[in-house]
Each structure stands twice: as C-alpha cells, then as structure tokens.
Copies of this chain bind each other. A is one copy, B any other.
Amino acid sequence: MIRQLAIVGIGLLGGSVAKGARAGGLARRIIGVGRASERLRPALDDGTLDAAVTDLDAAVREADFIVLAAPVLAIEGLLERVWRAAPDGALITDVGSTKRNIVRAADRLAARRPLAFVGSHPLAGSEQAGYRVARADLFRSATVVVTPTEATELAALKKTTEFWEALGARVTSLDPETHDRTVAAISHLPHLIACALVDGAGRVEPAALELAARGFRDTTRIAAGDPDMWTEIFLANRDALSASVEAFREALADLQRVIDAGGVDALRAELARIKATREQLR
C-alpha cells in the first residue's frame, strides 16, 4: 500500500488516478498539486484528496509514489524539480502521451541521483478535459503502456504495473521510441487527419458540413478535442508524427492509384484486405 500518493495535475487523468486510488484504497493519503488552489477545491470537497497544495516541493517531499499528470510538455520541466524534492526510495511515474523525451530526461537525472522513474501512458481520455469529467473507473479495461529502459529497476516496473492494474487497466510494455511511433500512428495521426478532414471539407464545398453523414461525424469526432492538449502532443511527438503522416500519405496515394486505374476487382481486393485488418481490432 502507498503511504503518500502525490499527484501533480488534477485534471481528467490526474483526477481519475486520484478517484480510482481512493475508491480502491490504494493509498493512505492522497495529495493533489496544482497551480491554482481554487481549481483543486472540487477534489478536496468531494473527499478525493486529503490535501490540495500549490507547492510542488512540499507535496512530493514525503511522497513514496508520485504521478505526474500535467500536460505533456510540462512534465519534462517538472521532472528536475521533483528529482530535487522527492525522498530516497520514491517511485515516480507520469501519464504523458509521448514518452521518449520524458523518459530520456529521467534517465539523465537518475544518472546523477538514483530515483526510480517508470514512464506510463494510459490510453484513456476523452474530448473533454478537467476534473469535472474525471472518473474512478476511467482506466478500467483501458490499456496503459509502460516504457521501461535498460536503466529501469525491475521492482519499480513491477510496482508501477501493479498500480495501474489496481486501477483496472491492462498494462503493456514498449520501449519509449516504439511507443512514440505507435501512438503517432494510432492516436496522433488520426487526430491530425480528423482536423484536416474537417478543414478540407469546408474548402471543397462550404455547405458540405451541414449535410455531414454519420461516417463523417464519427471520423471527425476527435477533431473537437482540447486544442491546448493536442498542441502539446503534436509538438512533443513531432518526429514520429511526421513519419506516420508520410506512411499515411503513401497508403492514400496507393489507394488513389487503384481507384484511378478503374479496375473493379483490384479495388475490391484492396478494400477487402483493409476491412480484414480493421476487423482484427478489438
């Protein structure tokens, strides 16, 4: 059991970690850290947090388990402060949706002072943001990717895995670089594409959006995601995203070539192959 769980950032993800940990009795004491104390008020009022503070150093000083749930570009910056303030033996994880930069920064810090860090990325979220949409069961049946490196201690990896499993998640492990390429392909690219679809539809036929059929609404639902969050994600994972866009452009060009060639059988075979691939998804 965790003695003191410090969660930095009490939004959708951090708030859901806090609620889930509270509901599951995973920690004796849960402290939330935020930049503005009035934003932490609801989580204190509903009993999710035992304490809500704006002083990061004070919050992590006595914590044995620290979850960094700030926006992805902010996490890297927080690491150095956490590294200075956290007690020996503390375990640090995060919820950032890109991992290479964060994990490599933690490895550099650990070379100076050995503290356990395990990168985590819960594939759970929503178009909505903020504590008011946080849920104790947000991670139930969600996948959480942990991203150990050659420097990660096995005990820390095990403890992080058990933490997410206790919140109901399935945990899978990838090295940080493979993780970033993978989420670029399955999460960041679809988001970017949805944005380009919405924008492109209006360019072709300004009235088109009014008629938008169900397929269009489903495909572009994620384009209504939080611009702040996605700005950070796109910038943090720029390189892997760019490689994914390239692969996508090639796949699109290949399909266009088959359509332009006009052969019914060839196009049907291509679409049947892709349908079969899609149907393998859970």
The stretch of A12-20, A29-37, A226-234 that contacts the partner chain: A226-234
Question: What's the Cα separation between A219 and B260 when bound, in Å?
Answer: 24
The answer to whether A224 has its CB under 8 Å from any CB of chain B is: yes
Tell me whether A182 is interfacial, beta carbon within 8 Å: yes
A244 CA to B259 CA, complexed, in Å: 14
The answer to whether A54 has its CB under 8 Å from any CB of chain B is: no
Other-chain residue from B195, B208, B247, B272 in contact with A200 (beta carbon distance below 8 A): B247
Instruction: Decide: A204 and B277 in contact? CB cutoff 8 A.
Output: no
Interchain CB contact under 8 A, B211 and A252: no
Q: Nearest chain B CB to A201's CB is how many angstroms away?
A: 4
Q: Which of B172, B256, B268 contacts A211 (CB 8 A)?
A: B172
* Residues from 218 to 271 in A contacting B, C-beta threshold 8 Å: 218-225, 227-228, 230-232, 234-235, 238, 241-245, 247-252, 254-256, 259-260, 262, 264, 267-268, 271
CA distance A209 to B232 in the complex (A): 24
Q: Is the CB of B218 within 8 A of A251?
A: no
- Is the pair A212, B281 in contact by a Cβ cutoff of 8 Å? yes
Complex-state Cα separation, A278 to B205, whole angstroms: 15
- Cβ-defined contact, B182 with A223, below 8 A: no
B-side contacts of A99, CB under 8 Å? none
Contacts A209-B280, A213-B123, A219-B219 known; A200 to B235 CB distance under 8 Å?
A: no
Give the B-binding residues of A (Cβ under 8 A). Answer: 123, 125, 143, 145, 172, 178, 181-187, 189-205, 207-209, 211-225, 227-228, 230-232, 234-235, 238, 241-245, 247-252, 254-256, 259-260, 262, 264, 267-268, 271-272, 274-275, 277-282
